[in-house]
């Protein structure tokens, strides 16, 4: 009898929480499409549709321990600010992959003992 070895549990140190707010739903879709091309996630591929009058925050967690594919250049209607929180190496890896699709500028950081929070400003390249 052949058995398949169990899948190892995900390493929490490779998880990065991503939050987008104050951006158009189309831009949220562009950013998450780029990230979903690169990393497994806990979210659906499309942001939920919401009325235009409702303030919206899009959030997802990405496992950056392996890269599925690198995204190509993507087009935003306007610059987007993204907040990423996770381990230092994991957040750096997320930023490296985002740089494949966008111009990325670090807009702020909040270092912690084992995690950091980074605000990234994404724009068209």
pLDDT, average across residues 76-95: 97
Supply the pLDDT for residue 3.
60
- How many domains does the chain divide into? 1
Q: Is residue 2 one of the residues assigned to a domain?
A: no
Residue 1 confidence class, pLDDT cut points 50, 70, 90: low
pLDDT at position 71 over 60: yes
Q: Is residue 116 one of the residues assigned to a domain?
A: yes
Range(s) of the domain holding residue 23? 12-48+55-123
Q: Is residue 4 one of the residues assigned to a domain?
A: no
Residue pair 121/81 in contact (Cβ under 8 Å)? The answer is yes
Q: Is residue 1 one of the residues assigned to a domain?
A: no
Q: Is residue 78 one of the residues assigned to a domain?
A: yes
Q: Is residue 75 one of the residues assigned to a domain?
A: yes
Alpha-carbon 30 to chain mean position = 11
Residue 51 confidence class, pLDDT cut points 50, 70, 90: low
C-alpha neighbours within 13 Å on the C-beta side of residue 37: 15
What is the maximum span of the chain, computed from C-alpha positions, in angstroms? 59
Supply the pLDDT for residue 44.
65
C-alpha neighbours within 13 Å on the C-beta side of residue 7: 3
The count of residues in the chain is 125
């Amino acid at each position: 009898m052949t058995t398949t070895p169990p899948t190892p549990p995900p390493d929490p140190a490779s998880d990065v929480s991503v939050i987008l707010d104050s951006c158009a739903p189309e831009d949220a879709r562009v950013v998450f499409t780029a990230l979903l091309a690169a990393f497994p996630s806990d979210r659906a591929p499309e942001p939920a549709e919401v009325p235009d009058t409702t303030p919206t925050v899009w959030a997802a967690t990405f496992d950056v321990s392996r890269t599925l594919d690198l995204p190509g250049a993507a087009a935003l209607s306007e610059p987007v600010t993204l907040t990423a929180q996770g381990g230092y190496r994991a957040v750096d890896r997320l930023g490296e992959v985002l740089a494949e699709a966008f111009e990325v500028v670090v807009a702020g950081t909040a270092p912690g003992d084992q995690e950091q929070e980074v605000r990234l400003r994404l724009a068209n390249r």
